[in-house]
Chains A and B, each alone.
Chain A
Amino acid sequence: MDITSLTVHELMEKLEKKEINSVEITKAYVDRINDKEKDVKAFVTTTCDDAMKRAKEIDNKKENGEKLSPYAGIPIGIKDNMCTKGVRTTCSSKMLENFISPYDATVVEKLNDEQIISLGKLNMDEFAMGASTEYSYFKKTANPWNLNTVPGGSSGGSAAAVAAELVPWALGSDTGGSIRQPASFCGVVGLKPTYGLVSRYGLVAFASSLDQIGPITKDVRDAAMLLNIIAGHDERDTTSYEAPKKDYVKALKNDVKGLKIGIPKEYFGEGINPEVKAKLEEAIETYKKLGAEVEEFSLDIATYALATYYIIACAEASSNLGRFDGIRYGYRTENFSNLKELYRNSRSEGFGPEVKRRIILGTYVLSSGYYDAYYKKAQQVRTLVKKEFDRAFEKYDVLLTPTSPTVAFEIGTRSNNPLEMYLADICTVSLNIAGLPGISIPCGVNSEGMPIGMQLIGNKFEEEKILNAAYTFEQEYKFRDKYKPDLCKK
């Protein structure tokens, strides 16, 4: 049995039937990491020994007849910006290279409650600022479909690890597309939930009004299951939404008859690669064939949303990252003679160039004289973006766009041009601006065999609709049966 090629729901069936145990599953992943991590470079920290120990404990408990969670003994990978007690949380930054959190993030607590086993912490752009994972202080993660290309970002380690079968599923975080875009580049499923659905407690803050944690998985059913685990109110996050628990797996009906899908035509215009566009058009035809009612409409906000995003995200980042001063935790310079120098030199030596760039931009747009022209205006545009989406959701259940204008690009081709890197987020940021949920699923590959992603956008707290729409397409298209990175052909 090829354990690492299975989805989590397939693993759970086998666990349930006692065809396999947690030690066998965990061992298969540890072996796979030992074999392929050197090529993919998805992890900042692996915790394989601890994972094996926990797997044994869980198997022992089961043998002794203890009733455990159905997820008990399933491994996972966690993006390295979620706090894990006792295991370092670096945000892929020199600033936090040796930081060990004194507590677990709420999502990590929830995984622990289900006795899900962490295989380690996954690489990312430093402080989640980037779209290629090239801005990690530690290493550049490779895309398993072509090791010379980027996995996307900022959750590039999470997406690459799932695609390369180094973990069965992973958690990512998404501030402007950081779950969906790498999922698209790596041919896996990535879900950004509605703002407020998943607690941000213990997620190292980048832009607090935009950040959300979500699943990166092999298929839509796994995404729904992982969302079931992590969603829910948390009194430690004041923006956490109080709502009754839902079972997202129940939403997967494999039926889109009568579903109203809106196609915002501006997302298919200039700048979208023709092969990406062609695959998306095929996907639209598939939805029509499956009985969905598809209609084109105008949603002319993409460019505004991107500009607004970079103003708001950098402003919030400049404020959030003010806490890194070299005093209580994090990098401290050797070179200082007074407190001010300690702050300045620690920050200047501890942060990488992209982080500094964004702090400077954020400080600029918040400074007196520019506040009205940039920050205040951006907050008004944010209202405009929300209104436009509200109008769209009066007519449609789900909106469909590409996840990214291109497939994965080559390592090193964009990292010196920040503005060009920012354009990678053009299709995804507007959802964060408006707080909406979105899912990226693979809808084909280009002529070079690189995956292409489709994004489905839902109204607030309507994850069920996008999950069902994604699931129905997936069942029809069967991407995983057709395509696989060479790295996973066994």
Chain B
Amino acid sequence: MADVSREELLHIAKLANLNLKEEELDGYLSNLQDILNFANVVNNADTEGLGETIGENDKFNVFRKDEVKVFEDNEALLMNAKEKERNMFKIPKVIS
């Protein structure tokens, strides 16, 4: 049985850059608990000696030349920015 504590949930949320409100905690906790209990069935599978499959096509990777291609349409890129200055994305000050 998975047993997740409130502290652990808050720690995970912090790692994921998410805030959970106090009133949401119990809901997320019980969902996480249920899903992990279900997911635990993987531990019944006999995987003795089996390797890990990371992606689907482990046998091939498709390479291309590492060439710089300039994306010309700066305007289209910056169109989605909430704040911009000249040709740049504007963000809050990082160094105080």
Contacts and interface: CB of A to CB of B under 8 A. Distances in A.
B87 to A, nearest CB: 13
B34 to A, nearest CB: 5
A386 interface: yes
Interface in B34-60: 34-36, 38-47, 50-57, 60
Nearest to A345: B19
A380 B47 CA distance: 6
Contact of A360 (B28, B60, B64, B77): B28
A325 B15 CA distance: 13
B47 A383 contact: yes
A344 B81 contact: no
B38 A419 contact: yes
Interface in A346-393: 347-348, 351, 356-357, 359-361, 363-365, 367, 373-374, 376-384, 386-387
Contact of B79 (A102, A235, A242, A360): A102
Interface string B10-32: 00110111111000000010011
B4 A364 contact: yes
B16 A318 contact: yes
Interface stretch (A244-252, A291-299, A330-338, A463-471): A330-338
Contact of A343 (B12, B17, B89): B17
A384 B43 CA distance: 13
Contact of B12 (A103, A330, A364, A434): A364
Nearest to A355: B18
A233 interface: yes
Contacts, number: 173
A432 B52 CA distance: 16
Nearest to A357: B31
Given A99-B80, A239-B55, A348-B19, A381 B47 contact: yes
A239 B41 contact: no
Interface size band for B: 35 or more
B82 interface: yes
Interface string B56-96: 11001111100000010100110111110000010111100
Name the residue in A195, A235, A242, A378 with the highest tally of chain B Cβ atoms < 10 Å from its Cβ.
Answer: A378
Interface in A298-334: 303-304, 307-308, 310-311, 318, 322, 325-330, 332
B32 to A, nearest CB: 6
A195 B79 CA distance: 33
A102 B71 CA distance: 10
B42 A304 contact: yes
Contacts of B81: 327-329
Interface string A228-248: 000001010111111000000
A421 to B, nearest CB: 11
A361 B40 CA distance: 13
A303 B37 CA distance: 13
A240 B62 contact: yes
Contact of B45 (A195, A343, A384): A384
A224 to B, nearest CB: 23
A327 B89 contact: yes
Nearest to B34: A419
Contacts of A242: 60, 62
B56 to A, nearest CB: 4
B47 to A, nearest CB: 4
A367 B12 contact: yes
A210 B53 CA distance: 12
Given A304-B45, A363-B12, A328 B62 contact: no
Contacts of B47: 377, 380-381, 383-384
Interface in A196-239: 196, 208-210, 233, 235, 237-239
A376 B52 contact: yes
B82 to A, nearest CB: 4
Contacts of A387: 50
A418 B31 contact: yes
Name the residue in B56, B57, B61, B82 with the highest tally of chain A Cβ atoms < 10 Å from its Cβ.
Answer: B56
Contact of A307 (B9, B42, B51, B57): B42
13 contacts: A100-B80, A102-B71, A103-B73, A195-B57, A209-B54, A241-B62, A336-B92, A344-B19, A360-B12, A360-B18, A378-B42, A381-B42, A384-B50
